[in-house]
Structure 1
């Protein structure tokens, strides 16, 4: 994998030869991150409690053959401490979570224990071991107490939520803050950052009750799409956008160019608002199918926010991070991946096509002189 991009200077080569642990590595975002880290020359390790039922990107791209994988539950403190002690990672990207809003309503306690106690266990293992490590703790835009205002939430805005999923992410943020101020702020070898993003889309996501996988599953079977909230606005972004932010955060924290213990938002520009319907139409434009009809079914069984935006000024100011893709490019990247998978339009397998999309994304970033893509 490394020789595909060995002439690149992404993130100033900070990950080359480093041991990087990704929790939740078998998931959608974790799989993309593992591939990108391999392309950056990192030695990648993963911890997840399961490999999701096929289809999934982790198996489709044969990621298991390229990293050292551990199947374990992040709610098991002793296991987390043992694994981190044995791996001795230079970097940790903590993505392991219960990520589905609807499932959180059905299984709130499992959601709380996974998202809150699991986060605490990773930080506790680092506290006990206390050797040099950069830990990027990934939560969600839904960690904020959403009051449906029209401007983007800043990192200093109130945390919390009215639904189980949002509450679990707000709770995880409080755990991160507590560990930083109590243990990692002074005289510690551990440096941490909290990073927040939401409504990430891209190829290889097959999770239930998510609009993009629901669309392509339906279209691939020539069926109608069932949606809940057609006019809900979300900060849609391609999966590589927040991942570039997470990697940038790890780079600058390692180089001591940003402060320990800070929080950062990653999302699209706040002046661009797109609804669920906007997204579906954009995805459908690049998909050749006989039936793109939308069947709108309102689900009144649980609360979902109508408007949610993030303010990304802090990432711009501290890290010179800006989004790489616009909304149309995001839709095209996503549709093209699923077209390659379902319609077999090329002879490239999922690993090759995913790798190509990472390289395409990097080239777009370089053409825009975005800081992380340049020396």
Structure 2
């Protein structure tokens, strides 16, 4: 089976590329250049790929040419501008990347006869957020106040419209939460920022320590994506799916920071950031009962284990261990939990 991943140089895309190649599949990618020091670069993911296209997802002609060249069996669309604060700084780029970029992929896939399934990745932030404690279900209204959330809701609605309006490969939309794991060097994300401060020996600054997020290890999230793709290939699985963490992972930003500092050791600490901060949702939670009930998917790692695995990966790499070997070992350990 030949898989194409858009955004394959990013954090989730790199792990997904590695996982699929470990399962014996051919994998190609379409993305911008990777951030320095991330999993893609450290683990040499590029050497594992059949084709590696460096394309701006906003360029419809380039996206079409790349997908035509690959002629994949299955497409995972992960490419996005994924950061809330970045969306305030560059709203036009965010809307064009997340909404129009998704349209470009959908259009190109519809014109590629080899594709038998496509998985469009959005986010938990597509839901109209009313800070309720019960998790949002797939049928809840979509919305978004900040440019990032609105742009991903637009991508989600655009996908729903496309598959109802035009010929399309069997399509699923997957909505995940905040993922953590080894090799994430994205700017303005909590755990990478914490670890960067811990490595530097400085106190990390936290914007909203009381905000609740549904933390999930990247392998649990990607296992959900793969489960949905397998269902599509088998002739089911279309529609929207929440791939969220268990209730034990619904903790505050401050609690995650405390746990990370304890696992890191060496006097690691954090403080609350001063100054004006842009709006971010105070509470986000997903109800993944549909995927658990209909697909048999479940989270395998507890919240504390997810944090520990992330820090173990980072410490091992800093100590000089090979990132590809560590990542393969964590993948094998995760699959053994199933």
TM-score by length of 1: 0.87
SS at match of 1:274: strand
Whether 1:36 and 2:9 are equivalent positions in the alignment is: no
Alignment RMSD, CA only?
Answer: 1.3
Instruction: Name the CA distance, whole Å, in 1 between partners of 2:113 and 2:65.
Output: 13
User: 3-state DSSP class of the match of 1:236?
Assistant: strand
Q: CA deviation at 1:338?
A: 0.9
**1:300 pairs with 2:276:** yes
Offset at residue 283 of structure 1 (A): 1.7
Counterparts of 1:62-141 in structure 2, within 5 Å, are 62-67=44-49, 68-141=51-124
Match of 2:252 in 1: 275
Deviations 1:218-275 (Å, cap 9, x if unpaired)? 11111111110001100000000110000011111101133x3x10001112465211
Other-structure match for 2:243: 266
Per the alignment, residue 364 of structure 1 pairs with 337
Matched, 1:288 2:265: yes
CA deviation string 1:106-162 (max 9, x = no partner): 000000000000000000112233444211000111111111011100111111101
State the Cα deviation string for residues 25-72 of structure 1 (Å, max 9, x = none).
1101000000000101111100002222x2111110011111121101
Counterpart of 2:209 (choices 209, 213, 230) is 230
Deviation at 1:194, TM superposition (A): 0.2
Q: Is the 8 A contact 1:21 1:91 kept in 2?
A: yes
The 5 Å alignment of 1:1-375 reads 18-52=1-35, 54-67=36-49, 68-184=51-167, 190-258=169-237, 260=238, 262-270=239-247, 272-289=249-266, 291-298=267-274, 300-344=276-320, 348-365=321-338
Contact 1:24 1:48 in 2 (8 A): yes
Contact in 2 for aligned 1:229/1:298 (Cα 8 Å): no
TM-score by length of 2: 0.97
Alpha carbons of structure 1 residues 294 and 132: separation in structure 2 relative to 1, 3 Å: closer
Classify the secondary structure of the residue corresponding to 2:277: coil
5+ residue gaps, structure 2: none
- What displacement does 1:286 show? 2.0
Q: CA deviation at 1:343?
A: 3.4
Paired with 1:112 and 1:85, the residues of 2 have a C-alpha distance of 25
Report the alpha carbon displacement of residue 288 of structure 1 after superposing the two structures with TM.
3.0
Cα distance in structure 1, aligned partners of 2:18 and 2:157: 30
Query: Paired residues, what number?
Result: 337
Q: Give the gaps of 5 or more residues in structure 1.
A: 1-17, 366-375
**CA 1:29–1:293 in structure 2 vs 1: closer, same or farther (change >3 Å)?**
same
| Deviation, structure 1 residue 298 | 4.5
TM superposition shift of 1:318? 1.4
**1:284 shift after superposition:** 2.1
